[in-house]
Copies of this chain bind each other. A is one copy, B any other.
Amino acid sequence: MNSDELPKEWSSEESINIYKKMLMIREFETRITKDAGKIKSPLVHPYTGEEAIAVGACAAINEEDYITSTHRGHGHFIAKDGDVNLLMAEIYGKEGGICKGRGGSMHVADFSKNMLGANGIVGAGPPLALGVALASKMRNEGKVVLTFFGDGASNQGMLHESMNLAATWKLPVIFILENNKYGWSTPAQTATAVEDLSLRAQGYGIKGVIVDGNDVIEVYKSTKEAVDLARKGGGSTLIECKTFRWQGQTTTDADKYRSNEEKEEWKKRCPIEIYKKRLIRGEIIDQTMIKEIEEKTLEQVELSVKFSKKSKKPDTGTVLDDIYKNPIDIGGN
């Protein structure tokens, strides 16, 4: 596949939008890292360096289609058109957050956008994706589900069960494996004996493909193909996206387990730079627009921080709300 060319079906606006989203993710993560001291949670996982996967994959689906996410969910949230203000406020633990401050970074979700939630349990998204896909199938809605997960998650039993069921029932689920070579501090080769996890697809009877996870167009094209197949009732695909996270596991992780050489090597392959160059070559954008987009993005991030700071802390009087649809008498003090 020649991913140097922009997909024919993308308008200029769409092509630029892809760029904007990737940049937004980058700047968003940069900002929360800077604000880590204010945010305080040690469990905030930035997506920096992996932007092309969420954005490329989500570009291949429609608004009505679903995604499930991981502990590293901000990128997926933004890629699925989630509101940055609501995202930032959630991470800040504020009433105005998308989950009213209940969930935090590991649980950002926007059900109005069919973004079914980041998840604190590694490997827990895919089993849920099965059900969403089944619902779509039973109701003949033609909707598909993208389920994101990591190389570390691949070794969870839940992944095995999910891929097997998706394959057997030909469910419209696409498994998007973000292979960033590490599960927390653990190198993939310490956790498994195979280099390519996509090899596992054949054991379930589905197609497995490998793509350059830093190339948004490649990710898009593979996902599109898988989505088309799924919509036609052809079932599931496993797409392994090779990538690397630039930052530590969390915004506060010292990241001593990876060499500087490795990090620098990967930074040379910045997904945003790669795509930007193509846009320039394709004369879709120029330096003025780039500048403008950068400024606009930073401004939006800044505004989201302002929004978050202005948003109130959640009202402690509401702490027991939303456990059940209709409140019941619960144990308390």
Nearest neighbor of A206 in chain B, beta-carbon distance: B193
Contact with B along A181-216 (1 / 0, CB 8 A): 000000000111110010111111110000000000
Contact (Cβ within 8 A) B206 A203: no
Contact partner of A192 among B168, B190, B194, B201, CB < 8 A?
A: B168
Q: How far is the CA of A205 from the CA of B206 in the complex (A)?
A: 18
Judge if A159 is at the interface, Cβ distance under 8 Å: yes
Contact (Cβ within 8 A) A157 B168: no
Nearest neighbor of A201 in chain B, beta-carbon distance: B203
Q: What is the oligomeric copy number? A: 2
**Known contacts A194-B203, A197-B203; 5 further A-B pairs (Cβ under 8 A):** A156-B157, A157-B157, A194-B205, A200-B203, A202-B203
In the assembled complex, 23 residue pairs joining A and B whose CB atoms fall closer than 8 Å, in A order, are A155-B160, A155-B161, A156-B161, A157-B159, A157-B160, A157-B161, A159-B160, A160-B160, A164-B193, A167-B193, A167-B194, A168-B190, A168-B191, A168-B193, A192-B204, A194-B203, A194-B204, A194-B205, A199-B203, A200-B200, A201-B203, A202-B202, A202-B203
Q: How far is the CA of A157 from the CA of B203 in the complex (A)?
A: 14
Nearest neighbor of A162 in chain B, beta-carbon distance: B157
Q: How far is the CA of A156 from the CA of B190 in the complex (A)?
A: 23
Judge if A16 is at the interface, Cβ distance under 8 Å: no
Judge if A158 is at the interface, Cβ distance under 8 Å: yes
A interface vs B, CB < 8 Å? 155-161, 164, 167-168, 190-194, 197, 199-206
Q: In the complex, which residues of chain B have a beta carbon less than 8 angstroms from the beta carbon of A191? A: 164, 168
Q: In the complex, which residues of chain B have a beta carbon less than 8 angstroms from the beta carbon of A161? A: 155-157, 160
Which residue of A159, A168, A191, A197 has the most chain B CB atoms within 10 A of its CB atom? A168
Q: How far is the CA of A112 from the CA of B194 in the complex (A)?
A: 37
Q: In the complex, which residues of chain B have a beta carbon less than 8 angstroms from the beta carbon of A204? A: 192-194
Q: In the complex, which residues of chain B have a beta carbon less than 8 angstroms from the beta carbon of A156? A: 157, 161
Contact partner of A193 among B159, B192, B197, B205, CB < 8 A?
A: B205
Nearest neighbor of A205 in chain B, beta-carbon distance: B193
Q: How far is the CB of A293 from chain B (nearest CB, A)?
A: 42
Q: How far is the CA of A157 from the CA of B164 in the complex (A)?
A: 10
Contact partner of A167 among B158, B160, B192, CB < 8 A?
A: B192
Nearest neighbor of A198 in chain B, beta-carbon distance: B203
Q: How far is the CB of A133 from chain B (nearest CB, A)?
A: 15
Q: How far is the CA of A243 from the CA of B329 in the complex (A)?
A: 55
Q: In the complex, which residues of chain B have a beta carbon less than 8 angstroms from the beta carbon of A199? A: 202-203
Q: In the complex, which residues of chain B have a beta carbon less than 8 angstroms from the beta carbon of A193? A: 164, 167-168, 204-206
Q: How far is the CB of A28 from chain B (nearest CB, A)?
A: 34
Q: How far is the CA of A155 from the CA of B158 in the complex (A)?
A: 10
Contact partner of A203 among B167, B190, B203, B205, CB < 8 A?
A: B203
Nearest neighbor of A123 in chain B, beta-carbon distance: B157
Q: How far is the CA of A191 from the CA of B161 in the complex (A)?
A: 10
Q: In the complex, which residues of chain B have a beta carbon less than 8 angstroms from the beta carbon of A164? A: 155, 191-193
Q: How far is the CA of A155 from the CA of B203 in the complex (A)?
A: 11
Q: In the complex, which residues of chain B have a beta carbon less than 8 angstroms from the beta carbon of A202? A: 194, 199, 202-203
Nearest neighbor of A200 in chain B, beta-carbon distance: B203
